Structure 1
């Protein structure tokens, strides 16, 4: 029996995944956490078979949580399940030690299949991750955007696509002030000062066509 710890800041998603897996005879959700700190506490107190970890959780980011898990339990299988489909995020997850990377938009059957096969030790790679794995030595090895948090990266990509701060706030259900803060922090990490420079950076580093 695969005993899964589901780490996601949205209770609706945790409930949905728990419901999806309830019909599977060989897997069971035995732990839930909304943030990285709680996830680590659960891992220390229960012998979970696997962790399904969102890349964007409260407190420590999903990638930071992944690093902490790898430091304490390097052999514990971790599947990064995220709303982000871009190869950049898959690369970060795989380089951080995730066993698989899936979009939350994946079909339920695909999610179940990957969980089962990772549990068996076959470590399957979805299409996006398979492509990225071949490029791991080259993707972002000297790129400043690897220091961006998933939320900062999401804001940057929306700016690059021409969305205004207010439009981004509406789409992400965040205040204009919060979006502006993410933008400012991203610019600082990238050593840039304007949206125009962001676009140039994105094109130069292959983040957009």
Structure 2
């Protein structure tokens, strides 16, 4: 599957166990010229089959579903379709849900009460290989990386600095993974930790803050 570009259509599969939600998302994306909804699924098992058939760029998935849930789906896609980006769209923003999804390899985590434009921006960013987090989710991750007693672990590891250097030069997740001989899922995990430690929610802000603090 080729890397999505700004000019190309972003192929999306929608995964949600509520038909009304799927209808609403399909209608929203259908009104945008750069999106093409190529499939839908009501749970993770159906989603795996749909992804294999439709070859999407991005999967927009709910988290809690009957049968195979969103986290298990993300893990399976990370091995079966590693170039497909998964953006979680859910009502749940608890620590357990957020951390589980990100650790499984989710590219983004958005909430269902997010404005329409925020969801569209998130999907476009994910198609470019960028991680996208709702503001409340960023706060959860910042808290998750705090040490006992509230001391923030703000220092980046050598590997995180290395990842950030490539990101600051404009590399996407796939390019960083190739440069460092790691998987895209590993790059995503590094970026999420970088965002949390720097108190930002996207790669552009991370690069700016890193330059301001002299980390690069």
TM-score range, shorter chain: 0.5 to 0.7
Contact kept in structure 2, 1:4 and 1:30, CA below 8 Å: yes
The question of whether the paired residues in 2 share the 8 Å contact of 1:55 and 1:80 is answered with yes
TM-score by length of 2: 0.60
Q: 1:26 is matched with which residue?
A: 34
TM-score, reference length from structure 1: 0.62
1:95 Cα deviation from its structure 2 partner:
1.3
Cα 1:69–1:136 change in 2 (3 A) is farther
Query: Contact between 2:12 and 2:60, CA under 8 Å: does it hold in 1?
Result: yes
Equivalent-residue separation in structure 1 for 2:119 and 2:86 (angstroms):
13
CA shift at 1:58, angstroms? 2.4
The answer to whether the 8 A contact 2:107-2:130 is kept is no
Separation in 2, partners of 1:60, 1:110: 27
Residues 92 and 17 of structure 1: CA distance in aligned 2, closer, same or farther (over 3 Å): same
Deviation at 1:135, TM superposition (A): 4.6
The answer for the alignment partner of 1:90 in structure 2 is 98
Contact 1:95 1:136 in 2 (8 A): no
Q: Summarize the Cα distance change of 1:106–1:84 in structure 2 as closer, same or farther, 3 Å threshold.
A: same
Q: State the match for 1:59 in structure 2.
A: 67
Does 2:144 match 1:130? no
- Paired with 1:24 and 1:132, the residues of 2 have a C-alpha distance of 31
Q: Distance in 1 between matches of 2:141 and 2:88?
A: 15
Please, which of 12, 27, 40 is the counterpart of residue 4 of structure 1? 12
- The corresponding residue for 1:171 is none
Give, in angstroms, the shift of residue 131 of structure 1: 2.5
Runs of 5+ in structure 2 lacking a partner?
1-8, 148-216
Partner of 2:25: 17
**Structure 1 vs Structure 2 CA RMSD:** 1.8
Structure 2 residue 117 is matched with structure 1 residue 106: no
Contact 2:29 2:35 in 1 (8 A): yes
CA contact (8 A) 1:91 1:129 kept: no
Structure 1 unmatched runs, 5+: 140-209
SS at match of 2:133: coil
1:50 aligns with 2:58: yes
Q: Secondary structure of 2:132's partner?
A: coil
**Which residue, out of 46, 56, 69, partners 2:77?**
69
Runs (4 or more) in structure 1 with deviation over 4 Å come to 135-139
Tell me whether 129-138 or 73-82 shows the greater mean CA deviation: 129-138
